[in-house]
Amino acid sequence: MQFDVSPQARRNALTFCGLALLLFALLIFLHLIRNDIPIGLSVVLGATSGILMLLGIGKLIEPPVSLVITPEGIRYLHRRGQWEIRWENIIRYDVPRVNRVMELEDAPFIGFRLYHVEEVLDDISPRLASALLFEQRQLLTMALRHQAPDREDYTPYFDIPDSYISPGGKVYKGLIGVFGKRMEQMRELLGYDLYVSSAALDRDIYDFKAHLQKLQASRNGDTDA
């Protein structure tokens, strides 16, 4: 049985585009009825309209389905490519948490810890690896700030390695090597190898985790049967 996840963020795409068009129409209307519109107001309305339109278009070009969950595994879909993990390769999954003073704070991601990272590194495309490295820089910064506050030198986390040697001894170079190193760093900091943003989910992140557990349980039941 297959379950497709349509991201919540994509549902807001038309709203952003609609607001952008309304602001642009308002700007045109104001200039038609008055000649003394302040330049500052025109700039603010025009810039806001442009930003909203770019955000809306950016969401529209994302795949309509972000995750495909089957009895065999989980496939993540991105406009730059995809990765896939088998259920048998998943050690655990949860919402990563970081230390903030006297309490723990949830990161807006769901993380997957794997037995064999090589299965992902052998399959992921350099384009997707590059996109994920960029998109998850904020998560890395958040993890470093709260999980390693006493560290004086963060350079190793942002340097580009010549290669990466996986736990199984396989050597990866180029963007795949950089992505492999980042997976290792994120496991060290937060305990997980792969991360899916809450924006790619179709519900609250904890509700999604519970739903994923139900799907896994039903999958295990089908397997046992």
SS3 70: coil
Q: Are residues 116 and 194 in the same domain?
A: yes
Residue 9: per-residue pLDDT: 65
Residues forming a β-bridge with 113 = 92
The structure tokens listed for 86 are: 């088998």
Host domain of residue 106: 80-224
- Within 8 A by CB and 6+ apart from 212, the residues are 69, 93, 110
Residue 170: per-residue pLDDT: 95
Q: What is the mean pLDDT of residues 170-184?
A: 95
Q: Are residues 92 and 150 in the same domain?
A: yes
Q: Are residues 212 and 103 in the same domain?
A: yes
Of 132, 118, 133, 122, which Cα lies nearest the Cα of 166? 118
- Within 8 A by CB and 6+ apart from 112, the residues are 74, 85, 90, 92, 93, 192, 193, 194, 195, 196
Question: Which residue's entry shows tokens 């879909």?
Answer: 77
Top mean pLDDT of 96-100, 144-148, 151-155, 205-209 is at 205-209
Residue 75 lies in a domain: no
Residue 127 lies in a domain: yes
Q: Are residues 86 and 165 in the same domain?
A: yes
Counting residues of the chain whose pLDDT is more than 90, the rounded percentage is: 50
Q: Are residues 181 and 150 in the same domain?
A: yes
Last residue of a domain, one of 60, 91, 107: 60
Q: What is the mean pLDDT of residues 96-117?
A: 89
Higher pLDDT, 73 or 145: 73
Residue 73 lies in a domain: no
Top mean pLDDT of 45-54, 157-166, 208-217 is at 208-217
Residue 147: per-residue pLDDT: 83
pTM of the predicted protein model: 0.78
Q: Are residues 98 and 29 in the same domain?
A: no
**What gap in Å lies between CA 207 and CA 87, rounded to an integer?**
19
Q: What is the mean pLDDT of residues 39-65?
A: 79
Q: Are 195 and 139 in contact (CB under 8 A)?
A: yes
Helical packing angle, 126-135 and 137-147, nearest 10°? 50
* DSSP3 helix / strand / coil % (the chain, rounded to 5): 55, 20, 25
Residue 214 lies in a domain: yes
Residue 71 lies in a domain: no
Of 166, 160, 163, which Cα lies nearest the Cα of 183? 166
Count of domains forming the chain = 2
**What gap in Å lies between CA 123 and CA 84, rounded to an integer?**
8
Q: Are residues 54 and 108 in the same domain?
A: no
Residue 72 lies in a domain: no
Q: Are residues 188 and 94 in the same domain?
A: yes
Residue 70 lies in a domain: no
Residue 108 lies in a domain: yes
Higher pLDDT, 218 or 83: 83
Q: Are residues 145 and 34 in the same domain?
A: no
Q: Are residues 13 and 90 in the same domain?
A: no
Q: Are residues 160 and 190 in the same domain?
A: yes
Q: Are 58 and 111 in contact (CB under 8 A)?
A: no
Q: Are 209 and 203 in contact (CB under 8 A)?
A: no
Q: Are residues 131 and 206 in the same domain?
A: yes
197 pLDDT band, cuts 50/70/90, is very high
Counting residues of the chain whose pLDDT is more than 70, the rounded percentage is: 93
